[in-house]
Amino acid sequence: MISDSSDKVWIEAPEMFRVVGKQKPDHVKPYLKKLEWIAENDENPIVRIHSEGTIRITKRALK
């Protein structure tokens, strides 16, 4: 999902990671660096916002 070329999938992928990261943060942990890059560099503001939320929630759940 995180590498999908479809705009619809690309926009929703970080949000799906957020849902998983809240319940099973260890499943999302390997993707945090990629999500951080996306949060800082993606041209789509929705993707950046969803990525930032995923990072925040997953890190909180890992504590």
Distance CA(5)–CA(28), nearest Å, equals 20
Distance CA(21)–CA(3), nearest Å, equals 18
Distance CA(46)–CA(26), nearest Å, equals 24
Contacts of residue 9, Cβ cutoff 8 Å, sequence gap at least 6: 1
pTM of the model: 0.85
Reported as a single tens digit per residue, the pLDDT across 5-57 is 787 888 888 889 999 999 999 999 999 999 999 999 999 999 999 999 999 99
Please determine, for residue 4, whether its predicted confidence score (pLDDT) is greater than 90: no
Please determine, for residue 1, whether its predicted confidence score (pLDDT) is greater than 80: no
